[in-house]
Amino acid sequence: MLYLDNRPLNPTRRHATNGPDRFYQWRGFFDDNSELDDIVQIIEKEFTAEYDTENVDKYFLLPGRSNTITTLCDNETLEVHTMISSQGSLEQWERSVKTTFPMKRTTASIIGTYVPKFRGSCSSVADAASLTDALSKKSRYYEANLKRRKFERNGVSAEIETIDVDGKTKISIALRGEDPAALMSEVETLGVKGTQNTHFGAFLNDL
């Protein structure tokens, strides 16, 4: 039996240490703002601004498993996201793990459960530098500079991101929410339904 914070984990329901575990997502990537002017203007005008951030994120992907994304954000927070299903134009994702350093032994074990290849590298004594070194040797490793603006409306978050990775710059819009109907309504309202839904792991693998 696995435990988190001294509570048994239900194998049929996965838990993250913070916030909602599961969410639905639509994400698209674009070469420049020329394709997005109308969409961005609607988001800026009609959604509520939440925050602006600049981050350096490190991504660790296993070959053939772009649907499981391990991310180290600003050398402070480690997260594991896993795609559960794809339903029409939407994907359902789960944040399986979110932790800071030093990790608890139980959290390190949970990471190893979701990403077995990382089991030996994740431990309570690992710090950001040693973990980056270890995981980068076991995976496809990417480092990205992100400028992110987050907005919210009707329970749906909209993130507008400028992403610099491997010498390339992309603009991304990510829409997320716990209610697939509400999320799909925003996808249709913003007019992005015709754009291919591409999650971050697939984007990185295509670089």
Question: Per residue of the chain (207 residues), what is the pLDDT tens digit?
Answer: 444 444 444 433 444 444 348 999 999 999 877 778 899 999 999 999 999 999 999 999 999 889 999 999 999 999 999 999 997 889 999 999 999 999 999 999 999 999 999 998 998 889 999 999 999 999 999 999 999 999 999 999 999 999 999 999 999 999 999 999 999 999 999 999 888 999 999 999 998
Per-residue pLDDT at 9: 43
CB atoms within 10 A of CB 85: 10
The per-residue pLDDT for 52 is: 97
Q: How many residues in the chain?
A: 207
Token pair, residue 183, equals 């999320």
Residue 207: per-residue pLDDT: 87
Report the Cα–Cα distance between both ends of the chain, in Å, rounded. Answer: 39
Predicted confidence at residue 8, as pLDDT, reads 43
Q: What is 26-77 written as a DSSP string?
A: EEEEESSGGGTHHHHHHHHHHSEEEEEEEEEEEEEEETTEEEEEEEEETTTE
Identify the three-state secondary structure at position 193. Answer: coil
Q: 3-state class of 149 per DSSP?
A: strand
- Domain 23-96+143-205: give its CATH code: 2.40.320.10
Q: What is the DSSP string of 63-132?
A: TTEEEEEEEEETTTEEEEEEEEEEETTEEEEEEEEEEESSPPHHHHHHHHHHSGGGTTT--TT--HHHHH
- Per-residue pLDDT at 12: 39
Calculate the alpha carbon distances from 133 to 77, 100, 199, 201 in Å: 16, 17, 25, 20
